[in-house]
Amino acid sequence: MNYTCTLNPSIDYIMHVDGFEAGDLNRATQTAYFAGGKGINVSRLLKRLDVDTTALGYIGGFTGAFIRETLESAGIAHQFIEINEPTRVNVKLKSGTETEINGPGPSITTEQLALLFEQIRSLGKHDALVAAGNAPGSVPADIYARMADICEENGTRFIADTSSAALRDLIGKRMFLVKPNHHELGELFDTTISSIEEIVSYARKLHETGIDNVIVSMGGEGAVFVNKDHAWKAQTPKGTVKNSVGAGDSMVAGFLAAYEKSGDYEQAFTYAVAAGSATAFSDDLGDRQYIEKLVSQVNLTSI
Ligand SMILES: Nc1ncnc2c1ncn2[C@@H]1O[C@H](COP(=O)(O)OP(=O)(O)OP(=O)(O)O)[C@@H](O)[C@H]1O
Ligand SMILES: O=P(O)(O)OC[C@@]1(O)O[C@H](CO)[C@@H](O)[C@@H]1O
């Protein structure tokens, strides 16, 4: 079974505002609510690709209830740990450019933390765990590193999609996949990356620390893939960007779904890029039909 863990889920509140002016009263022309948080996005997209997951993490209050109901009505299994404080609301403001304001999230107690570790300890060698997103301030900074250690002991595949600071703590851990964007990759190595050659070189460094597959995403500029046998650059399909929130999570889900079905890295990376772009060109996450239409427009070149 594939598990996703979202320590700090969110309701993503999308607001379209024409000509947004800071400091003024602005009125939205269109709004929408989505169950969000990176692991939850991965679960939602995997479900659209007919891959079952169980979503783990913390939810609370009326906002947490919305997330639970959304997942249940989509047929996504979950084993959320209920907490007292409400799940955060993240504002995604669309007004020509995209501005995001993410909430800090609720506090997690030591007991609630222990419950999550109990769940993770119960995973085995036929399971995979995708740990994604920001950790609330109340949890120990090395939480993902501790999860990675448990997964290594139990032979569980571990995948991380998180900030460069959290990724730094994971360096040296055995992982199946990481997907930083090129800014996060630069931050990780305390540098600014300005060329494809540098991206490939730092992605290789990351791979050599014990990560089987490294995808570095670059928004509309494409993505780079490195593992022990391959290094590819992908060009993205062309389209009109509606919403890039969740594009990176869609890549992770697309890669896992296609790799699970084909065992082939080229297909998995191609599908990952198509899934990212399908989400960027949709109001919500991309759907299967759209992703498959975009697959033929993804070009890989060996680098
Ligand atoms: N403007 C775009 N045009 C085409 N494809 C895009 C565009 N933006 C994103 N994508 C697709 O989505 C993938 C991931 O995008 P990006 O690098 O923005 O991820 P991210 O920074 O992790 O995003 P997020 O954290 O919002 O999920 C890209 O590699 C590409 O396949
Ligand atoms: O604050 P974090 O956990 O880093 O990011 C949370 C978030 O921005 O990531 C997802 C998109 O990747 C959204 O659904 C969600 O609002």
pLDDT tens digits for range 270-300: 999 999 999 999 999 999 999 999 999 999 9
Question: How many Cβ atoms are within 10 Å of 27's Cβ, its own excluded?
Answer: 7
pLDDT digits (tens, 9 = 90+) for 22-41: 999 999 999 999 999 999 99
Question: Rounded to whole angstroms, what are the CA distances from 80 to 72, 112, 128?
Answer: 12, 11, 17
In a domain, 272, yes or no: yes
**Is residue 108 domain-shared with residue 212, that is, in the same domain?**
no
pLDDT digits (tens, 9 = 90+) for 221-231: 999 999 999 99
40 CA: nearest ligand 2 atom: 14
Mean pLDDT to the nearest integer, 230-259: 96
In a domain, 34, yes or no: yes
Query: pLDDT at position 266, please?
Result: 98
**Is residue 126 domain-shared with residue 48, that is, in the same domain?**
yes
Q: Is there a contact between 105 and 89 (Cβ–Cβ < 8 Å)?
A: no
> Minimum-distance ligand to the CA of 131?
2
In a domain, 250, yes or no: yes
Query: Does ligand 1 come within 6 angstroms of the Cβ of 223?
Result: yes
In a domain, 292, yes or no: yes
Query: pLDDT at position 100, please?
Result: 97
Q: What percent of the chain has pLDDT over 90?
A: 94
CB burial string 84-114: b at 16+ within 10 A, e below = ebbbbbbebbbbeeeeeebbebbebeeebbe
- Tally the domains of the chain: 2
Q: What is the CATH number of the domain that holds 79?
A: 3.40.1190.20
Is the pLDDT score of 165 beyond 90?
no
276: nearest Cα among 209, 207, 195, 217? 217
User: Does the active-site annotation cover 284?
Assistant: no
Supply the pTM of this predicted model: 0.97
Q: How far apart are CA 273 and CA 247, in angstroms?
A: 9
What is the three-state SS of 220-286?
HHCEEEECCCCEEEEECCCCCCCCCCCHHHHHHHHHHHHHHHHCCHHHHHHHHHHHHHHHHCCCCCC
**65-69, 122-126, 135-139, 256-260: range with lowest mean pLDDT:** 135-139
188: nearest Cα among 268, 201, 175? 201
279: nearest Cα among 233, 236, 248, 258? 248
In a domain, 169, yes or no: no
In a domain, 2, yes or no: yes
**Is residue 150 domain-shared with residue 287, that is, in the same domain?**
no
**Is residue 72 domain-shared with residue 202, that is, in the same domain?**
no
**Is residue 211 domain-shared with residue 124, that is, in the same domain?**
no
Give me the catalytic one of 249, 264, 283, 287.
249
Which residues are within 8 A (CB) of 23 and not within 5 positions of it... i.e. 6 or more apart?
none
**Is residue 99 domain-shared with residue 213, that is, in the same domain?**
no
Q: How far apart are CA 238 and CA 300, in angstroms?
A: 15
Contacts of residues 181-184 at CB distance under 8 Å and 24 or more positions apart, as own/partner, are 181/216, 181/217, 181/218, 181/219, 181/248, 182/216, 182/217, 182/218
pLDDT band at 163 (very low <50, low <70, confident <90, very high): confident
In a domain, 103, yes or no: yes
Domain limits for position 241: 179-302
Query: pLDDT at position 231, please?
Result: 96
Q: Is there a contact between 74 and 106 (Cβ–Cβ < 8 Å)?
A: no
**Is residue 157 domain-shared with residue 211, that is, in the same domain?**
no
Q: How far apart are CA 277 and CA 283, in angstroms?
A: 12
Pocket test for ligand 1, best of 251, 291, 295 (most atoms within 8 A of CB): 251
- Ligand 1 atom 18: residue of nearest CA: 219
- Ligand 1 atom 19: residue of nearest CA: 248
Average pLDDT score over the chain: 96
Query: Does ligand 1 come within 6 angstroms of the Cβ of 133?
Result: no
